[in-house]
Amino acid sequence: MTMQVGMVAEGGNIVLASDTRWTYSPLVSGCGARHGSNSRKIRTDDRNSIAIACARDKVDANRVADAFIQLRDESEQNRAERMRGIGTAIADSKDLECIVAFAYPNPTLWFFQYINGQVVSCEPVYTYVFAGDTVNAAVFWIRNYHNFQSIDQLKRLGAHMIVSAGKICPDTISGLEIVYLDRSGVHTLSIEESLALELEAREWDSKIGKLILGDEEA
C-alpha cells in the first residue's frame, strides 16, 4: 500500500507528496516472510519536465510511468488518448495508479487509474487527487485545508498528510518524498530536506494533539 497526493498550488503550480515504503511478498506462496524497503515512488525525467507518482502494482506502475515520460513533448490535446493507449498496453490486467504532472507548456496535473482490466480514470485534475490508500483517514488534512496555497505551504500540508497516514498504517506507509513543479520545471526535495520536513510534521502532529486535549504545554 502507499499514500500519495497531487495538489494544484497558487499560480497553477503543482506539489506531489508520497511515502516511500515498498512492501514485497514472498515469491513462493507460503515460503518466506513479507518484507519491505524505502525508495522513491515519484519518477522524474532527465529534462525536469515531468513527474509521475506510482501506486499499487510497483512493477507495472513504474513501467507505465517510464512510458508516460515520452509524452512530455505531446500536445495537451493528445495526452488523454495516448495515456489510455499506453496504460492499457502495459498494465497487463494489474491494478495501478499514476499521478502525472507535466511542467510544460504550463504545469498540469493528471490522474491515470487502471483497475480490473480497464481504464477507470484518465483526466486532468484542477484541485487535488489521491492515489494508493485513498480511504486512509489522513486525507482529511487535504480535503479540509487545501485552498490553492503557495508551493511551500502545500509541501507542508502534503508532508503532514503522509506522516499522519503512516501513523494510521505504519506497516505499509512510511517515509516522505516531495516533488514540485513550476514554470521552470520539476524540483525534487533532497533526502535531507524531506527528512527534515517529515520530522517537522511529526512535531506538528504532537502539538495538534496537545491543543485538542487542552495540554498547557502546547
Count of residues making up the chain? 218
pTM over 0.95: no
Domains of the chain and any CATH numbers: 3-213 (3.60.20.10)
For residue range 142-157, list pLDDT tens digits in order.
999 999 999 999 999 9
- 56 or 25, greater pLDDT: 56
- The confidence score (pLDDT) of residue 91 equals 82
- Average confidence (pLDDT) over 174-192: 96
- The confidence score (pLDDT) of residue 24 equals 65
DSSP letter string, 32-82: S--EEEE---EEE-TTS-EEEEEEESHHHHHHHHHHHGGGGGS-GGGHHHH
H or E stretch including 7?
strand 3-8
For residue range 80-136, list pLDDT tens digits in order.
999 999 888 888 778 899 999 999 988 999 999 999 888 999 999 999 999 999 999
pLDDT mean across residues, the chain = 91
